[in-house]
Structure 1
Amino acid sequence: MDDLDSVNGIDDEPFPEWLRPPYRGFTVDDLFRLPELPSHTQLVDGGLVFRARQSAYHSLTNALLADGLRRTCPASLRVRREMIVVLGPGQAPEPDVLVARAEAVTGLETNRYAARDVVLVVETVAPDSAIRDRERKPQLYARAGIPHFWRVEEGARRRPVVHVHELDPATGAYTETGVHRDRLTLAVPFAVDIDLTAIDRM
């Protein structure tokens, strides 16, 4: 403890050993092995990412989209919220909403999905994760071959605006196919019709 800390009454706490990254970064095995990690910790580029508390807007937007997807989701697919998707040894982000193939859902103890089993990922942009949600995560999802990506921004009157992207096999990158306000109506990855203004009544 230095003199300034003594004056301010601040104790010099030791750096938690479990937060110290290995030389080559954390791995997916570490993510699920470390006992003291906060809930919803993600792994991006070998680094642990801790999530800030969600706002009511963020939580309601994700509930609105998940419920809307479930209404028309075919039996071959399942909708999940806040589940880890393993993209590689040092990449395990947790999208806000995802759609996975039903055969990958092996029971209530499932705590992660492989990228090959995921059809759609949804990221609702939050202030603490804006760069990751808009830039890095889409790059990682595309590289892993996930065919559909939605980025959700906060629009006028605090209503969600959904930017829909599809993977271009020729470039291996996402192409934006539409921006949806008030209503989200799509034919892929299956028929979707979600009233985005319904957040006003939630």
Structure 2
Amino acid sequence: MTAEPTGPAMWSPDPIRQRAADHSIEDVLNLPDDAPRVELRDGVMIVVPSPTIGHQNIGNLLWLWLRQHAPDSFLAVTAVGVAMGFRDSLEPDVLLLHRPVPDSNHYVLPSQVAVAVEIVSPGTKRRDRLEKPAEYAAVGIPHFWRIEQGPLRIFAYDLVDGQYQLAGEGNSESDLELTAPFEIKLPIREITP
């Protein structure tokens, strides 16, 4: 007697196309509904780890704060990707976009992004702290925020001469005060779960 799988197999990237680094944004858009979130790195699909409840709460509270305080010329979103190129994409935790943005898009162009936010988790430390900021800077995204957990701290960066420079920081005992992309006085305790 042999053991046979029951039910449909879990989705995974095509191994031949993965080795050939042959995936594009179009392939990601055509994934089945039950596929995990992925980013593209030089044509290779990278599965994005599922966020923890704490991670999601921070992102949701920041999204809500931005929705309530950003001028109407901006739109705060989550679970939307940035098409960095035909064979590269990133999935930031929170984005603040320049309006107008079509509601049907899963991806936006870097030129539409005002702020890209990454919430650092144990499994994404290197990528969120080192790799993603360099990738966002390379495509000209003007502002990048990195949120560290335990205790909660936000580091906000402005793009200056192709590199991010620290523009402000805050922790759960203080406010994040910035002049761009709009006048911001964010009490960090309001996004601390």
- TM-score of the superposed pair, with normalisation by structure 2: 0.84
User: Structure 1 residues 69 and 17 mapped into 2: Cα distance closer, same or farther (>3 Å)?
Assistant: closer
Kindly provide the amino acid, as one letter, of the partner of residue 67 in structure 1: L
Kindly provide the amino acid, as one letter, of the partner of residue 194 in structure 1: L
Q: CA deviation at 1:146?
A: 0.4
CA–CA distance in structure 2, aligned partners of residues 47 and 84 of structure 1: 16
Residue of structure 1 aligned with 2:149, choices 130, 148, 154: 154
Residue number in structure 1 paired with 2:182: 190
Percent pairwise identity: 28
Structure with larger Rg:
1
Aligned length: 185
Residue number in structure 2 paired with 1:47: 44
Any conservation in 2 of the 1:68–1:192 contact (CA below 8 Å)?
Answer: no
Unaligned runs of 5+ in 2: none
Any conservation in 1 of the 2:168–2:177 contact (CA below 8 Å)?
Answer: no
Q: CA deviation at 1:123?
A: 0.2
Aligned-partner SS, 2:146: strand
Kindly provide the amino acid, as one letter, of the partner of residue 44 in structure 1: R
Q: CA deviation at 1:16?
A: 5.5
Kindly provide the amino acid, as one letter, of the partner of residue 101 in structure 1: H
Residue number in structure 2 paired with 1:142: 137
Aligned-partner SS, 1:67: helix
Q: CA deviation at 1:37?
A: 6.5
Aligned-partner SS, 1:167: strand
Residue number in structure 1 paired with 2:97: 100
User: Structure 1 residues 34 and 64 mapped into 2: Cα distance closer, same or farther (>3 Å)?
Assistant: closer
Aligned-partner SS, 1:188: coil
Residue number in structure 2 paired with 1:3: none
User: Structure 1 residues 16 and 52 mapped into 2: Cα distance closer, same or farther (>3 Å)?
Assistant: closer
Residue number in structure 1 paired with 2:23: 26
Mapping of residues 52-91 of structure 1, within 5 Å: 52-91=49-88
Any conservation in 1 of the 2:137–2:163 contact (CA below 8 Å)?
Answer: yes
Deviations 1:3-57 (A, max 9, x none): xxx9xx899x9x9662431624422122112337624222133221212232121
1:179 aligns with 2:174: no
Kindly provide the amino acid, as one letter, of the partner of residue 64 in structure 2: D
Residues 36-45 or 68-77, more deviating: 36-45
- TM-score of the superposed pair, with normalisation by structure 1: 0.81
Kindly provide the amino acid, as one letter, of the partner of residue 141 in structure 1: Y
CA–CA distance in structure 2, aligned partners of residues 54 and 185 of structure 1: 27
User: Structure 1 residues 30 and 122 mapped into 2: Cα distance closer, same or farther (>3 Å)?
Assistant: same
RMSD of aligned C-alpha atoms? 2.5
